[in-house]
Structure 1
Amino acid sequence: MIILTLLFGVSVYLPRLANPRLAIPGDSLVVLYGSSQPNPVSARLEGEFASCDLGSTSATPYDTLWRAVFAIPDLAERDIYDLILSTPEGADTQPNAVMIYSGWRDTLVFLHLTDIHIGNTAQELIRFRQAILEANTIYPDFIVITGDIVEAGEVSESPVWYGQFLEAAEELMTPVFTAPGNHDYAPATVMTNYPALVNPEPNYYFTYSDWFCMLSLNTGPIDPYVGNARCWGLSPEQLGWAETVLREHASFPQKLAMMHGPVIDYDDSDRSNTHGRDEFINLSRSYGLSLVLHGHTHQNRFFLADSTWVQGDVSVYPGTPYFLQELSACKPSRDTLGYRRIEITRDTILSFLEDQNRNGPPDALGSLLLWNLRVAYTYNSDSTTCTISVDNNSPRTFYRGRVWPRMNPAYEYDVLGPGRIVRMSPRGLTEVLVDSIVSDDTTILYIFPKASLREDKPQPPGLAFTGKGLRAFPGKGLRARLSLYDATGRLTAVLKDGLWDEPCEFALGFLKPGAYVALMDAGNFRMSASFVMR
């Protein structure tokens, strides 16, 4: 039986932020909800870049809930949408509940994060926001998080911690799916806050197109009869449900699973689940699972179905399924934090390991480390120019990533650097596609106005370093001097001294490596920009 606690008015059960719906234009959208006045029911999708009115319909009973089916318009734009459901009783909004893609693709990229532990200290939330910034820059198709969302899920502070997690996750530009961990039960053995506030489904699955299916399973609290940080595991009922789903999706070439407690662990402190291990391994072999993703141990480990622990460089990949554990994204264990990037096609797993040693082949400890991708946005006073620097200290070059400056919406913009503007929202959030974010390098993009959308709005002044040069403009018809100074304050060059009618570009290839300051002096005002030539 589905249980939904109605605190007030209408309440959406699914989809929601931590268990969203993936769709393309023309698909149907099923909404489960509770309401004492369920009909008529209407729905609307509100995204940063677009919105969709899904119209009104009549719902039908579904267990203890109501089930409404809506049609996604054929012209719906790609976006992550809030779902707004309305009945005569009121309305409920679920942020980031629906992801509409332009179409299905034959290659997927997704990120695996785990062990967030909001509430352990103040630092976990800071690190989670950094992980969100990195994820938005990599711009995967979706994200999975395998448990331990908070440090303790059943204490008085837990609702606040879950609220902080959800508020931060709303900043994601891509959908996220979660599974619970043993800390989401702690210190109890029954979990109430996680299903009420984050994701009501302890076991569920989602699909992408007709070729990718991901199971999400709840491995429960720490087994009180065993201890040693071993999760309870999987019940016969869960295993039966998993087999039914796998049988129904037997034609899908890529079938995966995610859960918190590991099915296989092997060292002097075994933390594998205490129930259902062998049965699940047999299921994964019988139904051809590709990957099984775990958290819990805060370690980066790679096991085969026969319990072989794969270590060192991986030049030749053995047969699937692979059982992967992941570093905590936010709670330090041996001072290492990270997450995994997985690229998969209909036919094969393209990558799930990184070459952290920089010696050629990927290694079994090859996750992406947190803070190795740093993004800085520097705006002028009225957000009409923005310099974006992306420092990529990871071993991977990221292709077709994104940066997301929030610009003054009164202007149209151009980009200097390896990217192009895809679109800008009415509130100024600008999606910039970055062709490549090169490994062990800094990528710099400069966003500047090309024309005003209002005739009474002149092109604003600006001064910015673009990676290889300077772009400067004091204002049309103004006289100004643009000078360069080195780190000692010594004048290095005067780039222009005179009347300006339009923005100018200045190449800086003549400068030696080092730190410099550009100063634009227009008499009644000055602008400066610091930069480093490499």
Structure 2
Amino acid sequence: MRILHLSDTHLDRTATPNKYGVDATESLRLMLAELRHQQGVDAIVVTGDLADAGETEAYAALRDLVGEFARRTGAPVFLTTGNHDERTAFTKVLGSGHLTAEGTERAETVLESATGERAAVSTVDGWRFVTLDSLVPGRVHGRLSRTQLDWLREVLREPAAQGTILAFHHPPITLDVETQRVFGLRDPQDLAAVIRGTDVRAVLTGHFHLQLFGFLASVPVWVTPGVVNRIDLTTPPGTERAVRGASASLVELGGPTGPLFHTFHARDPRAHETVYELGEERVRSLVENHG
């Protein structure tokens, strides 16, 4: 199973440079162009913050750009919500988030909770893809509700032929960094209790705009770097810097040495230029407001 994993595209309806001078649409186009040589792609996963402000036009643009790439590869597309996304607009354009290579709905099972959360299941060549909704409206951190966790427990009760892949936005692992500790998935131990001893082979997430690997309940967790920019933590403690450069990942499961996780970086002459810097006071403010 070869998965192209993207995250944090942050498209907006204007398709123009944002306040930091970064054109998110151009970043996605550049990344997809660099990935065109990849062969044997079985699935494409995009783990949230698809739209920067939750606009339907942004979701339509992402559907078209990623959809064109998917049609060339013949791979289905699995998309999740992130903290910048808006559930109603996401659903209006992308449905369950599980799409065929031609852009039609393909989810086999869909959870729609009373509060609007959406989770879904699809199977590709014996591999079960489960997308979850970690969005907490108006907040930067994420959470998986008891409704979703109970539903996931039932889904995992019967193993898939090859195993299960979970995808959602907020990482359940963190570095010892203030923003990650506050902005990640709350109560990851609850998810750990659900997946421990099951057929879950990998958890795919985004949100941090940098690559990170760890384990939750002995299950590999991969955080793919962002498409719109990358976070560079070679900064003084309590600060953070975003740099230009679109990135994505290739995840290989089921092989003799798997799982394998590999990152791609689009060739951009402006790569590594600073997009923005967060000083100690700004980081402290973000942490206090979202703690």
Does 1:164 pair with 2:61? yes
Equivalent position to 2:4, from 105, 108, 111:
111
Query: Quick one: distance in 1 between partners of 2:169 and 2:149?
Result: 15
Deviations 1:69-89 (A, max 9, x none): xxxxxxxxxxxxxxxxxxxxx
Q: What does residue 196 of structure 1 align with? A: 92
Query: Quick one: distance in 2 between partners of 1:206 and 1:256?
Result: 10
Equivalent position to 1:254, from 160, 163, 167:
163
Deviation of the 1:169 alpha carbon: 2.2
Deviation of the 1:346 alpha carbon: 6.6
Query: Quick one: distance in 2 between partners of 1:162 and 1:288?
Result: 32
Query: Quick one: distance in 2 between partners of 1:266 and 1:121?
Result: 33
Unpaired segments of 5 or more residues in structure 1? 1-107, 186-190, 307-319, 354-366, 373-534
Equivalent position to 2:82, from 181, 190, 197:
181
Q: Secondary structure at the match of 1:286?
A: coil
Does 1:327 pair with 2:228? no
Q: Which amino acid aligns with 2:246?
A: L
Query: Quick one: distance in 2 between partners of 1:183 and 1:300?
Result: 20
Structure (1 or 2) with the greater strand fraction: 1
Deviation of the 1:163 alpha carbon: 2.1
Q: Which amino acid aligns with 1:160?
A: E
Q: What does residue 209 of structure 2 align with? A: 298
Deviations 1:435-457 (A, max 9, x none): xxxxxxxxxxxxxxxxxxxxxxx
Q: What does residue 128 of structure 2 align with? A: 213
Summarize the alignment of residues 26-41 of structure 1 with structure 2, pairs less than 5 Å apart: none
Deviations 1:288-330 (A, max 9, x none): 4221111111121111226xxxxxxxxxxxxx41111111012
Q: What does residue 20 of structure 2 align with? A: none
Against the structure 1 CA distance between its residues 134 and 324, is the aligned structure 2 distance closer, same or farther, given a 3 Å change threshold?
A: same
Query: Quick one: distance in 2 between partners of 1:129 and 1:266?
Result: 30
Does 1:337 pair with 2:246? yes
Q: Aligned pairs, how many?
A: 222
Deviations 1:187-236 (A, max 9, x none): xxxx21111112335201211223x11211000135x6xx5x312x1111
Q: Which amino acid aligns with 1:281?
A: A
Deviation of the 1:274 alpha carbon: 2.2
Does 1:289 pair with 2:186? no
Q: What does residue 272 of structure 1 align with? A: 184
Asked if the contact 2:128/2:160 (under 8 Å) is kept, the reply is no
Does 1:133 pair with 2:48? no
How large is the RMSD of aligned CA atoms in angstroms? 2.2
Summarize the alignment of residues 48-127 of structure 1 with structure 2, pairs less than 5 Å apart: 108-119=1-12, 121-122=16-17, 123-127=23-27
Asked if the contact 1:128/1:330 (under 8 Å) is kept, the reply is yes
Deviation of the 1:331 alpha carbon: 3.3
Query: Quick one: distance in 2 between partners of 1:161 and 1:134?
Result: 22
Asked if the contact 1:114/1:339 (under 8 Å) is kept, the reply is yes
Identity %: 23
Q: What does residue 368 of structure 1 align with? A: 264
List structure 1 segments (4+ residues) > 6 angstroms apart after TM superposition. Answer: none
Deviation of the 1:348 alpha carbon: 5.7
Against the structure 1 CA distance between its residues 265 and 118, is the aligned structure 2 distance closer, same or farther, given a 3 Å change threshold?
A: same
Summarize the alignment of residues 480-495 of structure 1 with structure 2, pairs less than 5 Å apart: none
Does 1:149 pair with 2:149? no
Higher relative contact order (CA 8 A, sep 6+): 2
Deviation of the 1:339 alpha carbon: 1.0
Structure (1 or 2) with the greater helix fraction: 2
Query: Quick one: distance in 2 between partners of 1:327 and 1:240?
Result: 29
Q: Secondary structure at the match of 2:204?
A: strand
Unpaired segments of 5 or more residues in structure 2? 18-22, 97-109, 111-117, 232-241, 269-291
Asked if the contact 1:337/1:370 (under 8 Å) is kept, the reply is yes
Q: Secondary structure at the match of 2:78?
A: strand
Deviation of the 1:147 alpha carbon: 0.6
